[in-house]
Amino acid sequence: MVQYMSARLDASFAALSDATRRGVLEQLGSSDASITDLAEKFHMTLTGMKKHVGVLERAGLVTTEKVGRVRTCRLGTRRFEEATAWLERYHQVWDSRFEELDKVVAELKRKESIDGHKKRK
Amino acid sequence: MDTRRESEPTSTQNRTTVERKSDRELVVTRSINGPARIVFEAFAKPELFKRWWVPKSFGPSLLSCELDVRDGGTYRLVFSHDGSEPMAFFGRYLEVTPHSRLVWTNEEGGDGGPITTVTFEERAGKTLLVFSDLYPSKEALDQAIASGSTGGLSETLDQLDELVVTLDGSHL
């Protein structure tokens, strides 16, 4: 099958499929934080948090910068926008389907009430 | 961050939700103004099904639509887009419970295709539709999303994409 969407999205969705990583993104949405801060907030070891941040970084969702001994993480928006844009489009496909389904169902309901009327006569 | 997206409330408050429920499952819900038996009919009769499953605004046209809606029955939808090579989507109905539940396979992509389960829950004259696409693995769903093929309409997404860009250049 021809692939229309960038394969790069793959990494974004894998990154977003984990609750802790979504939490980290939410956290970084309100302010930048160091890996130590994040590990404390999510009750994880530094190593565990480094792994999560690594996944987010590879997906382009987060960027990190080391100043002295502290690695600061902040939100990188590009990939996340791509991922949400896809969901937005997928949502629109279903929305237009359901709008048509509404019409079909309304038509069937009308037909049924007319038929019911005829039968009663 | 939640990946759920909801449309603006409509006058009827029937909103479409799309949610990745788990690593392997993508779920779409929507309430329809009508009893379950009528909504089910719109799934079971090809001439009705093709009217809403492939809205005109989609772009790709439907060359044929064969649905044998019964346990073990098969379905086959063939699309064409701007005279390109026709593309077929096909599978089998694993479970058909009139007015309440439909389960079908999606076999055009080989073994990695999802199992689609649709449930019809009637409440006060309305029917809540729940579509669940369950993939064999997390990787299979990630791949489907990445390729834009989820829902079996990658051409549709492509077409819609163009449409959205045309209608609202600032949106994407």
With b for 16 or more beta-carbon neighbours within 10 A and e for fewer, the B87-109 pattern comes to bebbbebeebeeeeebbbbbebb
The region of weakest confidence among A46-50, B112-116, B147-151 is: B147-151
Distance CA B35, CA A59 (A): 44
Query: CA–CA separation, A2 vs B120, rounded Å?
Result: 33
- Residue A17 has its nearest CB partner, among B20, B58, B109, at B20
Amino acid at A78: R
State the best of B48, B81, B143, B147 to mutate against chain A, taking most chain A CBs within 10 Å. B147
pLDDT, tens digit, for every residue of A57-100?
A: 887 788 888 888 889 998 876 555 666 666 777 888 888 899 99
Residue with tokens 């006569």: A121
**Residue A102, C-beta contacts closer than 8 angstroms, at least 6 positions apart:** B14, B32, B33
Rounded to 5°, angle at Cα B45 from B69 and B81: 100
Sorting pLDDT into bands at 50, 70 and 90, what band is B6?
Answer: very low
ipTM: 0.75
Looking at chain A, the whole-number percentage of residues with pLDDT higher than 70 is 78
CB B55 within 8 A of CB A99: yes
Answer yes or no: do A92 and B164 touch at CB < 8 A. Answer: yes
Sheet with B126-134: strands ordered across: B5-6, B17-22, B25-32, B126-134, B115-123, B101-105, B87-97, B74-80, B61-67
Rounded to the nearest 5 degrees, what angle is found at the Cα of A18, between the Cα atoms of A17 and A21?
115
What's the CATH code of the domain at B57? 3.30.530.20
With a cut of 60, say whether residue B130 has pLDDT above it: yes
Q: Is residue B7 part of a domain?
A: no
* Residue B66 domain-assigned (yes or no): yes
Contact B161 A92 (CB under 8 A): no
Mutate to test the interface with B, among A3, A25, A28, A105 (most CBs of B within 10 A): A105
Interface test with A, best of B52, B79, B90, B170 (most A CBs within 10 A): B52
- Give A2's contacts in chain B (Cβ within 8 Å): 154
pLDDT in tens, A7-18: 445 666 777 778
Q: Which domain holds residue B59?
A: 13-167
Task: Tell me, yes or no, whether B5 lies in a domain.
Answer: no
Fold classified for A9-77? Arc Repressor Mutant, subunit A (1.10.10)
Chain B residues inside the 8 Å CB shell of A28:
none
How many other C-beta atoms are found inside a 10 Å radius of the C-beta of residue B10? 12
Instruction: Assess A101–B contact: CB distance below 8 Å, yes or no.
Output: yes
Specify if B1 maps to a domain. no
Question: Is residue A86 within 8 angstroms of chain B, CB to CB?
Answer: yes
Residue spans per domain, chain A: 9-77
Asked if B145's CB is within 8 angstroms of A13's CB, the reply is: yes
* Domain count along chain B: 1
Chain B residues with CB-CB distance to A85 below 8 A: 172
Asked whether residue B98 is assigned to any structural domain, the reply reads yes
Name the burial class of residue A70, with classes exposed (0-12), middle (13-18) and buried (19+) by CB atoms within 10 angstroms of its CB: exposed
State the maximum Cα–Cα separation within chain B, in Å, rounded to a whole number.
47
Q: What is the pLDDT of residues B11-66, one digit of tens each?
A: 446 788 888 888 899 899 999 999 999 999 999 999 999 888 887 766 677 889 99
Q: Which residues of B touch A98 (CB under 8 A)?
A: 14, 16, 30, 32, 52, 129
In chain A, which residues have their Cβ closer than 8 Å to the Cβ of B39?
A: 101, 105
Asked if B7's CB is within 8 angstroms of A29's CB, the reply is: no
**Cα B112-B74-A108 angle, rounded to 5 deg:** 115
